[in-house]
Chains A and B, each alone.
Chain A
Amino acid sequence: DVRLEESGGGLVQPGGSLTLSCAVSGFTITNYRMNWVRQAPGSGLEWISDIPSTGDYLSYADSVRGRFTISRDSAKNSLYLHMNSLRVEDTAVYYCASGRTLDYWGQGTLVTVSS
């Protein structure tokens, strides 16, 4: 069975840093595009970053470019999102999702940016 499990969310002050993890089982992440999508409280879905199967061209939404970095560890079959210079408006549930069509999703992890 395919399973994606995010972790690493929590409360952080504005300007702080946090790293989210997404542990994957059931497929090899280096064979698929992997994504991060977020959802602010009471709002819609926002794609924020992806890494293709080749790992060579990383894409970011304008709202996070220069502050967030996507990466992966093939040995751990895990995806990561390194978040720096966090802002109040980054408060959201963060999901990892697989493939170009986002066919599998994790359950999400909540990041709260507040002083």
Chain B
Amino acid sequence: DIQLTQSPSSLSSSVGDRVTITCRASQTIATNLCWYQQRPGKAPKLLIYSASNLQSGVPSRFSGSGSGTHFTLTISGLQPEDFATYYCRHTYSSPPTFGQGTKVEVK
């Protein structure tokens, strides 16, 4: 199985900050990677697919990059509604595993 490792596991930031979350795959997955946001008590929401494509309706302050084994999610100008947990997930093969999550908290 392909393992995804996110870093950091948690971070503290302020409104307006630029935030970067990293996801590393245990083997190459090309650009078969998605990013999700999960607010407390809510279902996850797709933000980015195919590593860098913004899902319809998602604000442009979210962006994704990377290929192979190294991927990043960047939030440019953190907003109050962005304090949440973020997960990466690959779709390269079965099982399509998730990273362990990165919690973005208020500083």
Q: Tell me, yes or no, whether B59 is within 8 Å of chain A by CB.
A: no
Q: Tell me, yes or no, whether A53 is within 8 Å of chain B by CB.
A: no
Which residues of A have CB within 8 Å of B49? 101, 103
- B contact residues, range: 20 to 34
**Knowing A105-B43, A106-B43 touch, does A46 contact B91 (C-beta < 8 A)?**
no
Which residues of B have CB within 8 Å of A100? 91
Number of A-B contacts (CB under 8 A): 47
**Knowing A61-B95, A102-B89 touch, does A44 contact B46 (C-beta < 8 A)?**
no
The size of the chain A interface, using a CB distance under 8 A, is 19
Q: How far is the CA of A61 from the CA of B45 in the complex (A)?
A: 22
**Knowing A102-B44, A105-B45 touch, does A59 contact B94 (C-beta < 8 A)?**
yes
Q: Tell me, yes or no, whether B83 is within 8 Å of chain A by CB.
A: no
Q: How far is the CA of A101 from the CA of B35 in the complex (A)?
A: 9
Encode B53-93 as 1/0 by CB contact (under 8 A) with A. Answer: 00100000000000000000000000000000001010100
